[in-house]
Structures are given as structure tokens and as C-alpha cells.
Amino acid sequence: MVCLVWFRQRDEKMSMICLGDFREMPNFVETNPQAGKTDVRGSVLRRRQFRVGWGGAKTECKMNMLDNPLVWLMRIRHRCGYGVHSPFAFRFLTDVVYERTPYYAYSTLDEALPLAHSMRRRKGLHLIFRVANWLQPAVAVLPQGACHTRRYLQAGCRHALVMAHAPACGADLIVLREPDERAAQMVRAGGVLILDNLQQHREWFRRLPATVTFDLYDLGVAIYEERLTKQHYIINF
């Protein structure tokens, strides 16, 4: 693959152009075990040109792209719900994952974060806030010592009962740092499991009994919605 990247400054905006010979780069991969096959849609076999622009209001997107440009480029066609045909999955991506509303709680919560926290870590905490706000879990399970995650979660859902271990009756939202087979079985119907450090546990995440899973590169989001068929999406987050 030949890739040429350069930046230019114009009207206080930066733009990036990447020219490459991409082979079989799928738009997204949709797996349906009931059909016994995997569909790869939107693949390309020709030279393509990608142009991405952003302004000052999109600093977070810019910082994440510069943090790992190769990953960003490879996932550029998996963003904003492009190619996602499930109405439920599309709404979740647009209303939760890519929601750009500047919630009032962000500034207060972010001020308490250590300076060592990276932009990508902060973005993940913002996502946990939005998931809690969307799901409104009655019971949530967090790893021990996850004080910052707890603050963001409870800001999104103030009535949530936060525990260190899933009770016998299960939980609506579970956040993990490492694979936990018991916790994966304790998510209630309609609940969500979020796996941090997804890069090292991607295979385990794919085997979860959830129906809809989203690979966000750093994070994995699994939704246990029984009325849906099993789907897996690779997303540029």
C-alpha cells in the first residue's frame, strides 16, 4: 500500500489527503451466525482518495487522529454509522457513540481528571457517561478503584446503584478492564457490557453472548438485546 499524507493550514482549518492503493478494505463486516456466513460490504479494489477536514471545534477528533493516524486511516470508512443497516445499531451510533452535545457535566468532570489522562481516555469516559445517560441502569458494576469511571457513570445516571461485583439478579451496565466470564453472563436483557483495553481481548469480546457488539478499537460495547439478530460492527471512534 502506498500512502501519502500531508497537512496544510488554510482559514484556520487543517485538511489531510491520503492517496493509497487499498485492497479489499471493507466498509464494515456484518456477521450473521444464523445464516452461517459473513458479509463484507462496500469493499474496494481500486485506488481511492480520502479527504478529511476539521476545524477548531473538532479538536478531540483531530487529537485522536494524530495520536494514532494509521488506525484512524484504516477505520475512516467505518464512521458515523456508514454501512450500518440495523435501525437499532444506527440509532445507538448516532445518538450515543457519535453524540456531540456538549453536556454541562463534561467541564466539571474533566476538571477533576489528572493531567496525565490522555484525550483518548477522556473520550472513553465521555462515552461511558453517554451510555449511562441513554441506558439509565438501575444496577451498574465497575472495577474496584475505578473512581473516575464511577463519577462519569453516576453523572449520567444519578439513581444507579454502583457495585464492585454483579449481584445474583444481574446488572444493567457492566464495565470491565479484563475478561470476566461470570460478569459476561450477568448482564440483564437490554443491558450493556463495556470492555476497556479491547485491543488485548478482542477475541474474547467477539465470543460474548451479546446480540450486538461494537469494536471501537480501545473500547468494546456489547448490547444484550434479545429481539435483535447477532451483529458485529467495526467502528471508527
User: What integer pLDDT is reported at residue 74 of this predicted model?
Assistant: 52
Q: What is the CATH number of the domain that holds 56?
A: 3.40.50
Instruction: Say how many CA atoms lie within 13 Å of 24 toward its Cβ.
Output: 3
User: What integer pLDDT is reported at residue 108 of this predicted model?
Assistant: 92
Share of the chain above pLDDT 90, in %: 55
User: Tens digit of pLDDT per residue, the chain (237 long)?
Assistant: 434 443 333 333 333 333 333 333 333 344 444 444 333 333 332 333 333 333 333 444 444 444 566 555 555 554 554 568 799 999 999 999 999 888 989 999 999 898 777 888 999 999 999 999 999 999 999 999 999 999 999 999 999 999 999 999 999 999 999 999 999 999 999 999 999 999 999 999 999 999 999 999 899 999 999 999 999 999 987
SS3 state at 49: strand
Q: Where are the beta strands (DSSP E) in the chain?
A: 4-10, 13-20, 28-32, 37-41, 48-54, 139-141, 161-163, 171-176, 187-195, 212-215, 220-223, 231-234
Helix ranges restricted to H, 24-58: none
| Environment class of 10 (CB within 10 Å of its CB; exposed 0-12, middle 13-18, buried 19+) | exposed
Considering the entire predicted model, what is its pTM? Answer: 0.68
How many domains would you assign to the chain?
Answer: 1
CA distance 64 to 122: 11
Cα R_g (the chain), whole angstroms: 19
Q: What are φ and ψ of residue 187, in 5° steps? A: -80, 130
Note down the domain range covering 170: 4-234
